[in-house]
Amino acid sequence: MPTEEAAVLKCFVIMGFGEKTDPGTGRLLNLDATYHNVIKPAAQAAGYACVRADEVLHSGVIDIPMYEMLLDADLVVADVSTSNLNAMFELGVRYALKPRSTIVIAESKFSSPFDINHIVIRKYTHLGPDIGYSEVGRMQQQLTLLMKAIQRSNAPDSPVYSLLSSLKPPTQKIKQASSSYAKSLVTAQDETYAAQWQEAMTARAAGDFVKEKATLIGIYESQAAKSGEDENAVRPRVIRELAFATYKIGDKELETNSSAAAAAYEEAISLLQILEPDQTTDPETLGLWSGVHKRRSALPGRAADDRLADLDTAIYAAERGFLIRQDYYTGINLAYLFDVRASISSGEYKIADRVFANRVRRRVVDAAEKALNSLPEQFEQTEDRGTKIMTLYWPQATLAEALIGLNDPRGETELAKAKQMAPADWMVEITLQQIEDLKRMRKA
């Protein structure tokens, strides 16, 4: 397989980074899996040096390098899954600049909010956290063949140049664009945003949230506006993950130092306030906003009024997230929060929260059963047993918790199924702990 250093042709990839919520289905898709497992290997097999913006941009200043890449790249691959507005915009710029050599892909359930029926979009099956082994192979092969065919074709694929046949593409050369692009492709990995991000995620996987936070702070500071320069907002993803790492540090501190935990939660809340959680419609931000207030509400010695205020905030954020996403994971956490608030309330307020909790659980049962019924069909595209089990466990465990919360006798049977398929002990421990806490609160 050609290496990026040996390749002559340049491929620029347009897509979101990390995990993004598809607004059409509410599913959380790991777009990094698409890039690293499908697009990049396919491009390398076709003889292209492949790069995504996060692999070459150490600072947050993206405009000039992005436009250079959109103009200079021999090939652009755009993944418009989750209707990412940046990807849509960049695709439009590419179509305006180049008559040919642009490929558009999207996951199979993608439904465009725009009128782009005249554009060929090649679909692939995404399982959410990952892509199945056989589907990776199929899509890689399809893309590689298409990329090689494009090298031999002069036919326009841009709707702009297809419909305006007399239009001529720009011929102005960007000074040193090609050389600067080539240098960016072989930049040492420890200098790239992607490498820093991988370092942070590796630390998270190892449970080293202190190291993760330190790495994310480096990314954050590199993207922050510099004195005398134009305002440049830090990417929301960096802020979200920095807030997550911060309150996970708080969780660990809670075991021995509640004051340090409280300080960490306050810091996480301050970070999330940058993203305007009271107005946002981003499910990930809402989930973090809900989670950190839930944790702060449980601090030892927290005043009753403050605890109730935290729970109110957590519930409101979770309600908004569930309304947007309609998924079993957000729903089961919302139901649990209603029960937590009911456990410290009385009278009609207690009754109301119990009613709300059960109403949400009934919807969660429907969502979890729908997920469990649809996943086997998607799994026809994968032979990876680990991916199957990891993806099936959470809807199965959530179904069990929802049924147990509803006093449905099927709950224990579904819980036994979940235990059998759990790929890791900690997953079962989390499920059992929440169910035990729920039973305890229901007795109060």
Distance, in Å, from the CA atom of 437 to the CA atom of 180, rounded to the nearest integer, reads 57
In a structure prediction context, what are the per-residue pLDDT tens digits for the chain, which is 444 residues long? 444 444 478 999 999 888 887 877 777 788 988 998 999 999 999 999 998 877 765 444 456 778 888 988 999 999 999 888 888 899 999 999 999 999 999 998 888 766 666 788 999 988 777 787 788 889 999 999 999 999 988 888 998 998 888 888 887 554 444 444 445 444 434 456 677 888 888 888 778 889 999 998 888 877 665 444 444 455 788 899 999 999 899 988 988 999 999 999 999 999 999 999 999 988 889 999 999 999 999 999 999 999 999 999 999 999 999 988 888 889 999 999 999 999 999 999 999 999 999 999 999 999 999 888 876 555 544 444 445 555 688 899 999 999 999 999 999 999 999 998 877 787 788 899 999 999 999 886
3-state secondary structure the chain: CCCCCCCCEEEEEECCCCEEECCCCCCEEEHHHHHHHHHHHHHHHCCEEEEEHHHHCCCCCCHHHHHHHHHHCCEEEEECHHHCHHHHHHHHHHHHHCCCCEEEEEECCCCCCCCCCCCCCEEECCCCCCCCHHHHHHHHHHHHHHHHHHHCCCCCCCHHHHHCCCCCCCCCCCCCHHHHHHHHHCCCHHHCHHHHHHHHHHHHHCCCHHHHHHHHHHHHHHHCCCCCCCCCCCCHHHHHHHHHHHHHHHHHHCCCCHHHHHHHHHHHHHHHHCCCCCCCCCHHHHHHHHHHHHHHHCCCCCCHHHHHHHHHHHHHHHHHHHHHHCCHHHHHHHHHHHHHHHHCCCHHHHHHHHHHHHHHHHHHHHHHHHHHHHHHHHHHHCCCHHHHHHHHHHHHHHHHHHHHHCCCCHHHHHHHHHHHHCCCHHHHHHHHHHHHHHHHHHHC
Distances (CA, A) of 13 to 33, 53, 168, 231, 349: 13, 8, 24, 26, 52
**pLDDT tens digits for 357-379?**
999 999 999 999 988 887 655 55
